[in-house]
Amino acid sequence: MDRFDLNLLIYLDVLLRERSVTKAAQALGITQPAMSNGLKRLRELFGDPVLVRTSDGMSATERALQLQPLVRNILAEVDSAVQPTGKFEADISESVFRIMVSDYAEATLVPAMVKRLRREAPGIILDFLTPSDVTYKDVEQGKVDMAINRFDQLPQSFHQKTLWRDDFSCLVNPSNPVLKNFCLKGYLSANHIWVSKTGMGVGTGVNPSKDKAVQLGWVDEALSKAGFKRNISVFTRHYQMPALLAMNNDLIATLPTKVARMQALTGDLKMVDAPYDIPEFELKMAWSPLLHHNPSHRWMRTLIAEESEKLAQH
């Protein structure tokens, strides 16, 4: 321990995240020679190269990959130890929370969050970001407080909580002829509105003739497994759009039930069960271990969980 410097763990954490001495130095606000010296000391301390140059750039050694989750946990515990022990005073706080939310979460959870915050903590500022604005690295580094979305998978270092589960329903104009006998055959003969944007990063366009069902999401993947394919006329990434588009009496919108129920009430549309089985999905909240023990962050997570529990019952 006489050779140990806690700063070295911080250096190691950032180096393994950035896989670049230059980028790691920039992230920590130090010079490149200082970071190079830190890497040298890490190699001496662990008796391992830590990072090696390959054809794909700098890659972590097996020993470094084993150390990464341990180092992250140590730094999180240290952060917890130095956090103020006082209670977070939300009613007088002017904190800014940056939260990545999918359009689905924005349409369902955000209104309830904002309503409660205006009542209990009017000084708090919320900065909502879209999945295209944020990367996993932003969340991991604590630049974004949390991400609320449907995730196929998350980095192992992230903390996560399931907020609720939802299934799928259809929105249809009451005058749409398909309602006379709403079955799978009628569903397949109609034209459809596709809505989805769940992943992280910049979105890309869809080519209906080439994209596989699995790339189109839960609705089309489930239909494909049953041996069918629907006719999609409109592609959109915004959950506020289906209610407007489904007013056309020849289009069907298949979307999460919580959104469908809200839009059916405001758009004078009819909500009906999907005529085939579509697996449920989970809406999750994920955050960095670096923020796990932060009092203000814990308070916000609790508020989101409480509002989500209320919404899960509807």
- What proportions of the chain, in percent to the nearest 5, are helix, strand and coil? 45, 20, 35
Q: How many CB atoms lie within 10 A of CB 242?
A: 26
Report in angstroms the alpha-carbon separations of 194 from 3, 184, 206, 216, 292: 59, 17, 10, 8, 36
Amino acid 314 reads H
Boundaries of CATH 1.10.10.10 in the chain? 6-82
Mean pLDDT of 188-201: 76
Judged by average pLDDT, the poorest of 82-96, 160-174, 243-257 is 82-96
Q: Is 286 exposed, middle or buried (0-12, 13-18, 19+ CB in 10 A)?
A: buried
Encoding tokens for residue 267? 């758009």
Check: CB of residue 42 under 8 Å from CB of residue 14.
Answer: no
Which runs of consecutive H residues, i.e. helices, occur in the chain? 6-18, 21-28, 32-46, 62-82, 103-108, 110-120, 136-140, 184-189, 213-216, 218-225, 242-245, 257-267, 295-312
Check: CB of residue 159 under 8 Å from CB of residue 289.
Answer: yes
Amino acid 5: pLDDT: 74
Give the pLDDT confidence of 85-118 residue by residue, as tens digits. Answer: 567 899 999 999 999 999 899 989 999 999 999 9
Judged by DSSP in three states, 151 sits in coil
Q: What does CATH list as the number for 6-82? A: 1.10.10.10
User: Where residue 240 falls among pLDDT bands split at 50, 70, 90?
Assistant: confident
Encoding tokens for residue 226? 């049953």
Amino acid 80: pLDDT: 64
Q: What share of the chain in percent tops pLDDT 90? A: 48
Across the chain, mean pLDDT equals 86
Amino acid 98: pLDDT: 95
Which region holds residue 185: left if phi is over 0, alpha if psi is between -120 and 50, else beta? Answer: alpha
Amino acid 201: pLDDT: 45
Mean pLDDT of 268-279: 92
Boundaries of CATH 3.40.190.10 in the chain? 91-158+283-312, 168-279
Amino acid 101: pLDDT: 94
Q: Which fold has domain 91-158+283-312?
A: D-Maltodextrin-Binding Protein; domain 2 (3.40.190)
Give the pLDDT confidence of 17-44 residue by residue, as tens digits. Answer: 888 999 888 878 888 888 899 899 899 8
* Kind plus residue range of the DSSP H or E element containing 256: strand 251-256
Mean pLDDT of 155-161: 85
Higher pLDDT, 232 or 212: 232
Mean pLDDT of 123-147: 90
- Domain spanning 168-279: CATH 3.30.565.10: no
Amino acid 24: pLDDT: 87
Rounded CA separation 80/82 (Å): 6
Check: CB of residue 218 under 8 Å from CB of residue 258.
Answer: no
Amino acid 117: pLDDT: 95
Rounded CA separation 3/221 (Å): 55
Amino acid 17: pLDDT: 84
Judged by average pLDDT, the poorest of 4-8, 38-42, 127-131, 302-306 is 4-8
Question: What is the rounded (10 degree) CA torsion for 306, 308, 313, 314?
Answer: 130
